[in-house]
Amino acid sequence: MKVITVKDQVEGGKVAFELLKEKLDQGAKVLGLATGSTPIEFYKEIVASDVDLSSLVSVNLDEYVGLSADDEQSYAYFMKENLFAEKPLKVSYLPNGLAENPAEEALRYNQILAENPIDFQILGIGRNGHIGFNEPGASFEGVTRVVDLTPSTIAANARFFQDENQVPKQAYSMGIANIMASKTIVLMAYGAEKADAVYGMVNGPVTEELPASILQKHADVVVIVDQAAAAKL
């Protein structure tokens, strides 16, 4: 696990973008993408650049259960706004929040992942150490499924909704095993509220109680943090 400390999120976005370009030059074809506030500057760098993503495939980490792709709070909408509208890829996959049969939808998504092994995965981290929506206690062997969000994640994500009651209680999420199968992983974390999670991920025991700690076992992980997120390292 390589840790790079940056001045701020803007510099972090640039560092992550340089890593992406390096992997694209080496032939990366499938991108694993994340939502949340953390990767926004990274997407801005891509949009402002002349990189051509039109022959690439992307697979997103997660999506809320019950939200349509047109819903402004959906991750499909986030991706369209922050990346796809400006830099369309050949195909971009996200779980369908409105799927009638969630178990089948999760199977479909795992099939997509089996057919499109991820070369370069972008990650943020939750305050409790979650990655994707793999909350504390999620199995390291897990694949895409419907998960119940913890009260702390619902509270943290409420800032994007009008009020906390509107935050969906469930989401589709790739599992830890899907994430670990990516060739390269770049995780970004900014701000003091991420410092405990970053410490546990980098220096703590590898435990399902802090899902991101499994990344210590991955051969190619770069962690990009600002001073505040790195404060406890």
Active site residue ranges: 62, 128, 130, 135
At its nearest, how many Å lie between ligand GLP and the CB of residue 34?
5
Roughly how many angstroms between the first and final C-alpha of the chain, as a whole number?
13
CA distance linking residue 5 with residue 223, whole number of Å:
8
**Which of 41, 62, 208, 226 forms a contact with ligand GLP (CB under 6 A)?**
62
Site string for ligand GLP, 35-54 (x = CB under 6 A): xxxx----------------
Binding to ligand GLP in span 90-129, by CB under 6 A? 124-126
Nearer Cβ to ligand GLP, position 20 or 229?
229
CA distance linking residue 30 with residue 179, whole number of Å:
13
Nearer Cβ to ligand GLP, position 13 or 124?
124
Contacts 24+ apart (CB under 8 A), 68-76: 68/97, 68/98, 69/94, 69/96, 69/97, 71/97, 73/160, 73/161, 73/166, 75/35
Nearer Cβ to ligand GLP, position 16 or 61?
61
Q: Segment near ligand GLP (CB under 6 A), from 34-42, 51-59, 94-102, 218-226? A: 34-42
Verify binding: residue 58, ligand GLP, rule CB under 6 A. no
Pick from 224, 233, 175, 207: nearest CA to 8: 224
**Which of 61, 67, 198, 230 forms a contact with ligand GLP (CB under 6 A)?**
61
Q: Are 201 and 130 in contact (CB under 8 A)?
A: no
CA distance linking residue 45 with residue 160, whole number of Å:
23
Verify binding: residue 133, ligand GLP, rule CB under 6 A. yes
Nearer Cβ to ligand GLP, position 54 or 230?
230
Verify binding: residue 34, ligand GLP, rule CB under 6 A. yes
At its nearest, how many Å lie between ligand GLP and the CB of residue 50?
27
Tokens 């795992």, located at residue: 110
Residue 115: exposure state from Cβ atoms within 10 A (0-12, 13-18, ≥19): exposed
At its nearest, how many Å lie between ligand GLP and the CB of residue 207?
19
Give the amino acid at 205.
Answer: P
Residue 69: exposure state from Cβ atoms within 10 A (0-12, 13-18, ≥19): middle
Tell me the pairing of strands 2-6 and 57-60.
unpaired
Binding to ligand GLP in span 164-223, by CB under 6 A? none
At its nearest, how many Å lie between ligand GLP and the CB of residue 130?
6
Q: Give the footprint of ligand GLP on this chain (CB under 6 A).
A: 34-38, 61-62, 124-126, 132-133, 153, 157
